[in-house]
Amino acid sequence: MFDKETYIRRRAELKKLVGNGVIVLFGNNESPYNSPANCHAPMRQDSTFLYYFGQHRDGLVGVIDVDNDTEMLYGDDIDIEDIVWMGFVDSVKVLADAVGVSITGPMKELSHVCHEALAKKRTIHFLPPYRHDTKIQIMDLLGIHPSQQKDAASLPLIHAVVKMRSTKEEQEIAAIDRACNIGYEMHTTAQRLTKAGTTERYVGGQVDGIARSMAQDTSFATIYTQHGEIMHGNPSDAILQDGRLVICDAGCELDDYCSDHTRTMPVNGQFTQRQLEIYSIVEACHDYVLEVAKPGVKYKEVHFAVCRKMAESLKEIGLMKGDIDEAIAAGAHAMFLPHGLGHMMGMDVHDMESIGQIYVGFDDETRPNLEQFGTNCLRMGRRLQEGFVVTDEPGIYFIPHLIDEWKANGHCKDFLNFDMLETYKDFGGIRIEDDVLITNDGCRFLGSKRIPYHPAEIEEIMAGNK
How much is the pLDDT for 203?
98
How much is the pLDDT for 160?
98
Mean pLDDT of the chain: 96
How much is the pLDDT for 379?
94
How much is the pLDDT for 41?
81
- State which amino acid sits at residue 348: D
Sign, CA torsion 205/208/212/214: positive
Q: Residues 104-147: pLDDT tens digits?
A: 999 999 999 999 999 999 999 999 999 999 999 999 999 999 99
Q: Contact, 222 vs 249, CB < 8 A?
A: yes
Q: Residues 382-431: pLDDT tens digits?
A: 999 999 999 999 999 999 999 999 999 999 999 999 999 999 999 999 99
How much is the pLDDT for 18?
98
Helix (H, G, I), strand (E, B) or coil at 46: coil
How much is the pLDDT for 1?
85
3-state helix, strand and coil shares in percent for the chain, rounded to the nearest 5:
40, 15, 40
Cα separations in angstroms, 313 against 63, 279, 289, 307, 397: 54, 11, 16, 10, 14
Q: Which positions of the chain have pLDDT values less than 50?
A: none
Angle at 12 between CA 6 and CA 15, to 5 degrees: 140
Residues 282, 199: Cα–Cα separation, whole Å:
26
Q: How many CB atoms lie within 10 A of CB 294?
A: 16
Residues 222, 289: Cα–Cα separation, whole Å:
24
Cα separations in angstroms, 338 against 54, 130, 399: 37, 26, 10
DSSP letter assigned to residue 298: B
Residues in the chain: 466
Q: Residues 256-283: pLDDT tens digits?
A: 999 999 999 999 999 999 999 999 999 9
Residues 59, 28: Cα–Cα separation, whole Å:
6
Residues 251, 262: Cα–Cα separation, whole Å:
9
Cα separations in angstroms, 95 against 44, 91, 126, 236, 301: 17, 6, 22, 42, 45
How much is the pLDDT for 24?
98
What are the φ/ψ torsions at residue 266 (nearest 5 degrees)? -80, 135
| DSSP per-residue string spanning 224-252 | EES-TTSTT----SPBP-TT-EEEEEE-E
